[in-house]
């Protein structure tokens, strides 16, 4: 299988998605829309070139708690990334040295504590994108992240 589109799929355990991906050794494209109701989600594949991830909270109770959720992306061959986050996931990303184009929409996290931790995680994630050729970045009124991104990237990239 070269293309896999999972639209609002639910998994029995944190490892279920990674187990599924490990059974797709030639996967080139993954599109995944998830309702996040677990603590850790890992997307790892050495062959994925195109990745679309859209995250939402499944359970309002999780949205209002100070749970630490994490999305981990390890896709070294990735050329295109579209990432939409309404869930407030903490994002950990491996090297994106092959990435050419990224479309990032970060909206998540509620509450002062979550907002601070999420902003820090989002900033670290966005910083991994500084070598991308085309970047569309929508931070939806996240001016603190926006200011931090531009001050961090000053001298690294030209922003137009």
Q: Tens of pLDDT along 17-62?
A: 888 899 999 999 999 987 765 557 789 999 999 999 988 765 544 4
**105 and 138 in contact (C-beta within 8 Å)?**
yes
- 160 within a domain of the structure (yes/no): no
| Residue range 67-81: mean pLDDT, rounded | 85
Residue 159 belongs to a domain: no
Q: Choose between 24 and 15: higher pLDDT.
A: 24
Q: What is the pLDDT of residues 79-119, one digit of tens each?
A: 999 998 877 667 888 888 899 999 988 875 554 445 656 66
pLDDT at position 121 is: 76
Domain of residue 147, residue span:
3-152
Per-residue model confidence (pLDDT) at position 3: 96
User: Does residue 85 lie in a domain region?
Assistant: yes
Q: Is 117 exposed, middle or buried (0-12, 13-18, 19+ CB in 10 A)?
A: middle
Number of folded domains in the chain? 1
- Looking at residue 116, its pLDDT comes to 59
């Amino acid at each position: 299988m070269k293309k896999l589109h999972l639209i609002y799929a639910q998994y029995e355990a944190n490892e279920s998605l990674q187990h599924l991906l490990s059974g797709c050794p030639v996967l080139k494209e993954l599109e995944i829309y998830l309702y996040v109701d677990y603590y850790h989600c890992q997307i790892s594949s050495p062959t994925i070139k195109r990745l679309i991830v859209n995250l939402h909270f499944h359970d309002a109770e999780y949205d209002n708690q100070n749970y630490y959720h994490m999305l981990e992306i390890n896709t070294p061959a990735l050329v295109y990334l579209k990432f939409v986050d309404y869930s407030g996931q903490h994002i950990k990303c491996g090297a994106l040295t092959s990435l050419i184009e990224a479309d990032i929409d970060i909206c998540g996290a509620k509450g002062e504590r979550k907002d601070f931790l999420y902003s820090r995680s989002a900033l670290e994630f966005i910083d991994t994108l500084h070598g991308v050729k085309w970047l569309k970045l929508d931070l939806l009124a996240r001016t603190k992240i926006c200011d931090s991104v531009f001050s961090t990237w000053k001298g690294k990239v030209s922003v137009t």
